[in-house]
Structure 1
Amino acid sequence: MVHIHVTGASGSGTTSLGHMLAERLVIAHLDTDDFFWLLTDPPFTTPREADERIRLLLAEAGRHDGWVLSGSALKWGGQIEPLYDLIVFLKIEPELRMARIRAREIARYGDRIGAGGDMEVKSGQFLEWAATYDTAGPERRSLAAHEQWLETQTAPVLRLDSSRDIDDLVAEVLLHPAIAAGAIRRR
């Protein structure tokens, strides 16, 4: 079975593509946010300890023959990296990415992120953080950090423009030799 990591900036479509790939390949879909963040309300406010994140991720990955991991495990996911058969790196123009994030925030949280809402400040901080992905340095989740990390990986890297139709992206991943040949997990 295959193990695919779909990564990129917030708003680049990693979760959407990861979900569709898992569905097409009939394998598990795992998302880094489910391991990185504790369940809170409002959400995405309290990260788990790094050791606990990787312990949970490795345990869940070990329960499945094949999986797609979407999101970013930069700086904490090193123990799962040797399992990747393919890394899909999504890139998209910053303006389109930010429009997607804003639309997603409104769809998820509605009035909670509006003026006076309980998530107004946190959402604003998230949007500011996300807007700097392409220009920030490698000390945080950024294009620079992803590029540095990609240089260290042994799995093949497939770079895709995620402004394209998602069905086209799925088809391109499925045609990659590591997937089309039914890649066997490296040991």
Structure 2
Amino acid sequence: MHINIFGASGAGVTTLGKVLSEKLGYPYFDSDYYFWEKSNPPFTVRRDPLVRNRLINEAMSGLDNWLLGGSVINWNNNWQFDLSVFLYIPQELRLQRLRDREYERYGDIIHSDKYRNRLYHEFIDWARGYDELITNSRSLHAHRDWISNLKTPVLAIEGDTTVEERVEAVMRKIAELKMIKL
């Protein structure tokens, strides 16, 4: 089974992906690992799309089951998902999660260093735009448009749900899909 989990930054995609990976025994692939080159500070150098796609395709090659976390709607990689899971939480909660996560990852430098502070604020502003922009490739509008064109099942989990509730919802959907295929 090939499962894509996506949503806005801070919606809980990575957390859900890692928990499902343990529960299902499927490898989890985080699109950020392939989208961004290793850099200091991190998440500032985009990887060439051809290299990115080659790397992730090599990693997934020969696997019958996997989980892919992240918004890959513009990757042109011809994946065939058996299930897409869309996560959405209210903007203010998501932004607070991101602020907390950034501080936990990087500490005071995001406030004390001019360059890192600018990157931090640009990231939070970009994340805020998810709910508001129509043209941003990673936006609520773009995700809903992509969902409307998917030919495979989609499970939308919206609201401030726990990781356990999300796992249960995905497991129910997987069981339902396996029953349909029999």
Kindly tell me: are residues 132 and 72 of structure 1, through their superposed partners in 2, closer, same or farther at Cα, counting changes over 3 Å? same
Please give the TM-score of this superposition, normalised by the length of structure 1. Answer: 0.90
Taking the aligned partners of 1:131 and 1:37, their CA distance within structure 2 comes to: 21
CA positional deviation for 1:118: 4.8
Q: Does structure 2 retain, via aligned residues, the 8 Å contact 1:12–1:90? A: yes
Partner Cα distance (2:136, 2:117) in 1: 26
Q: Find out whether 1:97 has 2:94 as its counterpart.
A: yes
Structure 2 distance, partners of 1:118, 1:31, is 27
Post-superposition Cα deviations, 1:75-119, rounded to whole Å, max 9, x if no partner, equal: 11x32432x110000011001000110110010010121132652
* Runs of 4+ in structure 1 over 6 Å off: none
With 59-68 and 172-181 compared, the bigger mean Cα shift is at 172-181
TM-score, with normalisation over the residues of structure 2? Answer: 0.92
Deviation, 1:26, is 0.5
CA distance in 2, matches of 1:74, 1:26: 25
Give the CA RMSD over aligned residues: 1.9
The amino acid across from 2:43 in the alignment is: F
1:142-153 map, 5 Å: 142-153=139-150
| Secondary structure, aligned partner of 2:87 | strand
1:68 alignment partner, SS class: strand
Give yes or no for the alignment of 1:166 onto 2:182: no
Q: Which has the higher helix share?
A: 2
Higher mean C-alpha displacement, 18-27 vs 60-69? 60-69
Number of residue equivalences:
181
Q: Say if 2:2 and 2:82, in contact at 8 Å, map to a contact too.
A: yes
Unaligned runs of 5+ in 2: none
**Counterpart check, 1:81 vs 2:79:** yes
Give the aligned partner of residue 121 of structure 2. Answer: 124
Confirm or deny: 8 A CA contact 2:130 2:136 kept in the other structure: no
Give, in whole Å, the separation in 2 of the partners of 1:129 and 1:139. 9
Tell me how far 1:167 sits from its aligned partner.
0.6
Deviates more, 1:173-182 or 1:102-111: 173-182
Instruction: Give runs of aligned pairs for residues 19-168 of structure 1, distance below 5 A.
Output: 19-76=18-75, 78-82=76-80, 84-116=81-113, 118-161=115-158, 163-168=160-165
Question: Matched residue of 1:119: which SS?
Answer: helix
Deviation at 1:73, TM superposition (A): 1.2
The answer on whether the counterparts of 1:91 and 1:161 sit within 8 Å (CA) in structure 2 is yes
Contact 2:36 2:47 in 1 (8 A): yes
